[in-house]
Every structure is written in structure tokens, then in C-alpha cells.
Chains A and B, each alone.
Chain A
Amino acid sequence: MARYDRAITVFSPDGHLFQVEYALEAVRKGNATVGVRGTDTVVLAVEKKSTPKLQDSRSARKIVSLDNHIALACAGLKADARVLINKARIECQSHRLTLEDPVTVEYITRYIAGLQQKYTQSGGVRPFGLSTLIVGFDPYSRLPSLYQTDPSGTFSAWKANATGRNSNSIREFLEKNYKESSGQETIKLAIRALLEVVESGGKNIEVAVMTREETGLRQLEEAEIDAIVAEIEAEKAAAEAAKKGPPKET
């Protein structure tokens, strides 16, 4: 097996592309990332490791916009992410120029996934070590979408998903607790899911929201996040108390 992980273009005898699998390992070490799609809101939330005091946190944003109506968050190698994001941003503008229309979320996801796939089938290159969560609203129809891509170049649409560290447990939580929601409920669900694996607190989570009505991506302030986290904690405490039941009469 050791001989089949050198050059990416080689399959192993049992059908594995080891470089792609190793890239997925890199993703699994990345920051926990959650995306949730609501009826009129889409939310991305990313775990933020504690920022060094002297670092300007605004230069290290983990959730970026690709265009006015599309945002992306990723888990994995951040340097690879930068390259992919730049190419995607150029493609968004190029599409606007040649087709006179903004891209649909599915189109740009397909483009990014296509790029990731190309790097699994070329000589001398390694795959991009990141999985992305892409959210946005399609032009004209204004339907919300959430897509995920991974280093192998596959992509699919989701109602809610997670990637990066502990993504399996977050996904389990989402499967148990997902319902169609809108506005603040969607944001709360995303934060609740992320809090399953991340220390609670506004300074450990980065959250960005896009709604059907407003243009652009809105990054939530730390204070806003703290307020929502407090709400969630209160709800959790109330649920615990209710579970314990009213004091029994003897």
C-alpha cells in the first residue's frame, strides 16, 4: 500500500486514491464548520480557535463572500482555501460578464467541485485539502441553497451539514433536531449544533447570515452571538428542569 500514495494519478489495487483520502484527513483536522438552510435565511457558523491578542481578527475571517448573494466557509488547509476562493470569485464575475446574470449557487459549487476534481487527476499536483460549505440565494428565484464539496470533487445539496472536526457528531445532532425554520430560528439551530463540540461563548464562534431580502453577507458581532448563546443555554436549562419533572407530591 505504501507505494500507491506517492503520485495522485495512481489508483491502488483496491480502488483507492490515497491522496484524496489523506486530504479528507486534513479536513477532519480542520475547524468545525456548520451550515443550515432556512426558508428565507442561510447560516454558516465556524469554530474560532482563540485569537492571539495582537492579531487583527478581521483579517482572519473564516466565512467569506464569493459574490453579493453567495458565501463560503471551509474546513481544512486555509492556504488552499484562499486559492480556491479567489478562483471562484473570478468565476462569479466572469459569469456575470458573459451571461449577464449572477451565478446560481449550484453553478459555482459545480465550478469549485470541478476545480477540486481536476487536481485529483493531474500530474504532479496534490488535491486541495479542504471541504467547503457554500450557501446563497439564486438570482431571480431567490431560493436558498446549501451545498458541500470535498477534496474528491463531489458535491451535493443539503438542508444542514457540518464539516471539519467532530462533523459526525454535529451532523447527528442536526439530523435529530432539524426542522424547516426561518430567520432567528435558523441562526439558533446552527449555533446550537456548533456548541455541541465547541466551548460556549461568542469569542469561540464565528457566525455569518444571509437573508433573502438583504444583499450581502452579515457577520454577527460577538455581542449578538453571546446573546443568542445565552438564550440557548437558558432554553437548555429550562428543558432540563422540565425533564426532571415537577416536584412529586408524596
Chain B
Amino acid sequence: MVAADSRASMGGYISSQSVKKIIEINPYMLGTMAGGAADCQFWHRNLGIKCRLHALANKRRISVSGASKLLANMLYSYRGMGLSVGTMIAGWDETGPGLYYVDNEGGRLKGDRFSVGSGSPYAYGVLDSGYKYDMSVEETSELARRSIYHATFRDGASGGVASVYHVGPEGWTKLSGDDVEELHYHYYPVAPAIAEQVMEEATAE
């Protein structure tokens, strides 16, 4: 399950509330964007090209571990030159589901759950407390959505729309995309208040 918000900020200015942070590398692999938007977009597209070339040359899809390694090695070769990329590569291959964290220092980690970005600590809190290895798809997508929502609630650089994608053996599908402001009232509905004094409309005199 992959989820992300959609806010881009330039310092204190919110430059966009509708950024696609989940990048579709190919029909069975997704990448997430955190850090520099341009760097993430460019290198994910570049990774997509490499994956396609691999499939053409070898007549079989590249594995998730292979794809994440290609990206990590590429980023490592630019180490120290100011790239800013914190991404997760999620996909499905012959060995089953795969999730890797890759960053601009060339680090690459395999794991069952990750949270990346400025709002990641908040998301981790919700994610870690709600996670079980054998959750159903519905439970997991709700957990992912809630994690993003809580990150957007507290972190100023996160907001916009919480998108949730599911990656299965047949590829990925988008499950939901909810505006986090609306999600807030969904999770914390406001009970109608009983007013003690009601203002009346002034009658024209």
C-alpha cells in the first residue's frame, strides 16, 4: 500500500496543493516523491526508462530489488552534488511484493513499512501503532490514509490530497484520493452546538 500527500512548498509559501507524489514507474511499480520535486520526478522517469530497457533486453520484467538498486547506484554516483531524493520503490515481482527505501546519499533499505518526508515522524506514529503484517487490503488502505492525514495535520509542509494506491500481483491501482481538510471532519465530526442565544434577523423599520 502506498500513500502520499500532495503539497509542495517553497519555504513558507505553498506552491501547489495538487502535486502527484506517487509516480507510476510502470504498471506494476510505484515510486514516491519526497525532497526535491524535480529531482524525484526526473530520476523516477529515468528509472522507468532503465526498467523498460531491461525488460526489452532480457524478455522479463526487472525485479523490485533490481530497480531500486539501479536507482540507488545512480543517486550514489551524484552523491555530494546536492540531489535531494527520499523515495520508496514499491512493486510486485516473481518473488512477491517488494518495498525499498532509497535516498540521495545512495542508501537503500528493504522493509515492510516506511514513512518518508517532513511529515514522516507523525505518519510513523500512526503507522507503527496500527500496523500488523497480516492486515486486509481495506484495513491497510485506511491505515495509510490516516497516517497521511495525521502528518498533514501537524506538519505545515504536508497537505492537499491524501492519495492511496494498492500494489498487487497484477499491478497497482489507485484506491482513493481524499482532501485532507474533508478527512479532518470525517475523523473528527463537529457535533451541532446548541446555541443559548440566537441572533434574530433585524426587521426593516
Residues of A within 8 A of B (CB): 98-101, 104, 106-107, 110, 140
Contact = CB atoms under 8 A, between A and B. Distances in A.
A221 B54 CA distance: 40
Given A106-B58, A107-B58, A140-B95, A98 B70 contact: yes
By Cβ-Cβ distance, the 5 closest A-B pairs, closest first, are A99-B66, A100-B65, A140-B94, A100-B66, A100-B69
Interface-central residue, B58, B59, B62, B94, by most chain A CB under 10 Å? B58
B41 interface: no
Interface of B: 57-60, 62-63, 65-66, 69-70, 73, 94-95
A134 to B, nearest CB: 16
B70 A104 contact: no
B63 A99 contact: yes
A99 B95 contact: no
Contact of A98 (B58, B59, B69, B94): B69
Contacts of B95: 140
Given A107-B58, A140-B95, A101 B65 contact: yes
A110 B56 CA distance: 13
Contacts of B94: 140
Contacts, number: 24
Contact of B73 (A98, A104, A106, A107): A98
A92 B73 CA distance: 18
A28 to B, nearest CB: 32
A99 to B, nearest CB: 4
Nearest to A100: B65
A100 B58 contact: no
Nearest to A107: B58
B66 A104 contact: no
Contacts of B65: 100-101
Given A99-B63, A140-B94, A140-B95, A104 B69 contact: no
Contacts of A101: 63, 65-66
Contacts of B73: 98
Contacts of B69: 98-100
Nearest to B67: A99
A100 B60 CA distance: 15
Given A98-B66, A99-B69, 17 more contacts: A98-B69, A98-B70, A98-B73, A99-B63, A99-B66, A100-B63, A100-B65, A100-B66, A100-B69, A101-B65, A104-B58, A104-B60, A106-B58, A106-B59, A107-B58, A110-B57, A140-B94
A101 B67 CA distance: 11
